């Protein structure tokens, strides 16, 4: 079975913490939980991992998210795209420029998540590319479990589902119903049976992303990628993940305009590229 590369010492984490003095007190108490995540370790036929982090106005969380990723016992390339943040996020990320295996792209104009992913996918070098939001809703401790079906050659793409398992992590009935409607609508067009098309956590073999192009600049990228991948016959699996939903007061950004755009994109890309 293929494996996740492990580092004998985590120089990337040390460098991130050194440069982000402000986050050190926030993450030191929790960092051992990420360093001790169970990771398969088979030295045959290793694949490399790139984690892409699109960021817009996440001053309160971005340092902790990046520290958590860097703490994982996985050799990881991190590519961060700052989508023209205005809240101080850029100042935090500027401290990370030059960190080993970490690239920060700064955009002059806010374009949206899809555009940020498009820019990042052009820069990654890993055999597997995983998307991580910069808030604290998604926990990087779930990353090894997301990668396992790809390393086992059971999938080309893996979605981390918030709705598999007995624990209900999303307490908002409106959000759950909205996600159910969007996912079921997507399933009707793609013919696959997903429980969480809108999830942030998506991992792809590199060749999958080479085979599709992103046209949507905002949150329409989720149904666009799903439809294009399904049309090409790639193997998609879902695995359960944890989820800590946040409110709009806490910084949640997707809105009613994005809902209507997502419905359009489900139909648009469900029928043709």
Sheet with 202-205, edge to edge strand ranges? 102-106, 76-82, 49-55, 128-131, 202-205, 157-161, 236-240
Categorise residue 231: left if φ over 0, alpha if ψ from -120 to 50, beta otherwise.
Answer: alpha
Tokens 């193997």, located at residue: 235
Give the tens place of pLDDT for each residue, 105-126.
Answer: 999 999 999 999 999 999 999 9
pLDDT in tens, 189-225: 999 999 999 999 999 999 999 999 999 999 999 999 9
CATH no. of 11-271: 3.90.550.10
SS3 174: helix
Domain residue spans in the chain? 11-271
Does pTM top 0.85 for this prediction? yes
């Amino acid at each position: 079975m293929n494996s996740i590369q492990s580092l004998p010492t985590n120089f990337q984490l040390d460098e991130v913490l050194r440069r982000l003095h402000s986050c050190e007190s926030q993450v030191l108490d929790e960092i051992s939980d990420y360093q001790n995540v169970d990771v398969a370790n088979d030295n045959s036929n290793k694949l490399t991992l790139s984690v892409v982090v699109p960021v817009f106005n996440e001053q309160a969380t971005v340092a902790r998210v990046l520290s958590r990723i860097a703490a994982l016992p996985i050799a990881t390339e991190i590519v961060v795209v700052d989508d023209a943040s205005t809240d101080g996020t850029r100042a935090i990320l500027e401290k990370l420029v030059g960190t080993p295996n970490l690239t920060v792209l700064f955009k002059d104009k806010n374009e949206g998540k899809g555009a940020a992913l498009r820019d990042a996918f052009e820069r990654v070098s890993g055999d597997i590319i995983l998307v991580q939001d910069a808030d604290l809703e998604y926990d990087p401790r779930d990353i090894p479990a997301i990668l396992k079906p790809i390393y086992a050659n059971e999938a080309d793409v893996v979605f981390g589902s918030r709705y598999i398992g007995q624990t209900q992590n999303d307490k908002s009935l409106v959000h759950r119903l909205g996600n159910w409607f969007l996912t079921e609508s997507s399933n009707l067009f793609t013919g696959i049976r997903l429980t969480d098309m809108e999830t942030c956590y998506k991992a792809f073999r590199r060749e999958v992303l080479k085979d599709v192009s992103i046209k949507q600049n905002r949150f329409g990228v989720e149904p666009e990628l799903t439809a294009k991948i399904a049309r090409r016959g790639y193997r998609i699996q879902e695995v359960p993940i944890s989820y800590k939903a946040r409110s709009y007061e806490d910084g949640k950004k997707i809105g009613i305009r994005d809902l209507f755009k997502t419905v359009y994109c489900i139909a648009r890309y469900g029928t043709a590229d």
